[in-house]
Each structure stands twice: as C-alpha cells, then as structure tokens.
Amino acid sequence: MELILKEDVQNLGFKDDVVKVKNGFGRNYLIPRGLAALATPSARKVLAENLKQRAHKEKKIVDAANKTAEAIKQLEIKITAKSGAGDKLFGSISNIDLAAALEKEGHSIDKKYIAIQGGLVKRTGPYNAQIRLHRDVMFDFPFEVVAEAQA
C-alpha cells in the first residue's frame, strides 16, 4: 500500500513523502490517526504541485536551519549531575536535559529532534547527540556530562 505522509513519522519518513507500507499498518494506524492519505494518482498530482510551489520557500527555511546549526555547533555544553562512586550518575541524562541546556543558551529545540547516541547517559564523560533541525539539516553535537561539585 502506498501512502502520502501528512506529518513526520518516526522511522518511516517525513511529511509529503510517498512511502510503501503494509496494508494493516496503513489502514489501522496511519490513516485513522491522520498521519497519511492514500497515494492515488490525483493525490500524487496535487502533491507534486504543492512541492513545486514550496521549493523556493523551503530554501529559506534550510538556510535558517543551517545558520542555527552553525551557532549550536559553536556551543560547549556541560550538563552537571549528581554522581556516586566513580563516574556513575544518580539517575540519568536524556534528550530532555540536553534540550533544556540548549534552551538556556538561547536555542529552542524540541526534545523529539534530539537523539543521544547510546540512549540515556548514566555516566560522566563526553557524549554525542544527533540534532535534526530540518529533514536536510542534521548534525552531531558533542556535549559533556560532569559531576556536581560535592559540598
């Protein structure tokens, strides 16, 4: 079954992509939730026209995303967390914490667009996260988790 995505769907595709999925996934999940529509010939023509009109607007958005990406790459983020013996943390650091740290620096990025490599961070040290600002603008962002100073 071929569908046109109406929104970004994790691990499937981005908005306005034509994707091929199994019939049950399309009928029972994507279409009822309004995430996709059937890719009929008329819907494909409408999609092609919309993409053509949106192409020049998209360039401005990509340029702005690239500018933001360069500004974020210049940052050096250190997230402090309570730690126990050795370098093990009490709790963990997730994409939510990294999004909050970037927010403090003046860059508002939704947590769902940040993926920390390896999942949750449970030890101090340097880590990498992949940040997606646009479907064409993705970059690796290094950050460090440091132990909170003991009083």
Checking 8-15 for CB contacts under 8 A at 24+ apart, the result is: 8/135, 9/35, 9/36, 14/135
Residue from 126, 134, 34 nearest 78 by CA: 126
Model pLDDT for residues 133-142, shown as the tens digit of each residue: 888 888 999 9
Does the pTM exceed 0.75?
no
* Dist. CA 129–CA 140, nearest whole Å: 6
pLDDT digits (tens, 9 = 90+) for 91-111: 889 999 999 999 998 888 888
Task: Report all structural domains of the chain as residue ranges with CATH numbers, in order of start.
Answer: 2-61 (3.40.5.10), 70-147 (3.10.430.100)
C-beta atoms surrounding 106 within 10 Å: 9
Q: What is the pLDDT of residue 29?
A: 95
- Tokens 């460090």 belong to 144
- What is the model's pLDDT at position 100? 92
Per-residue pLDDT at 150:
61
Q: Which of 150, 146, 73 has its CA nearest to residue 109?
A: 73
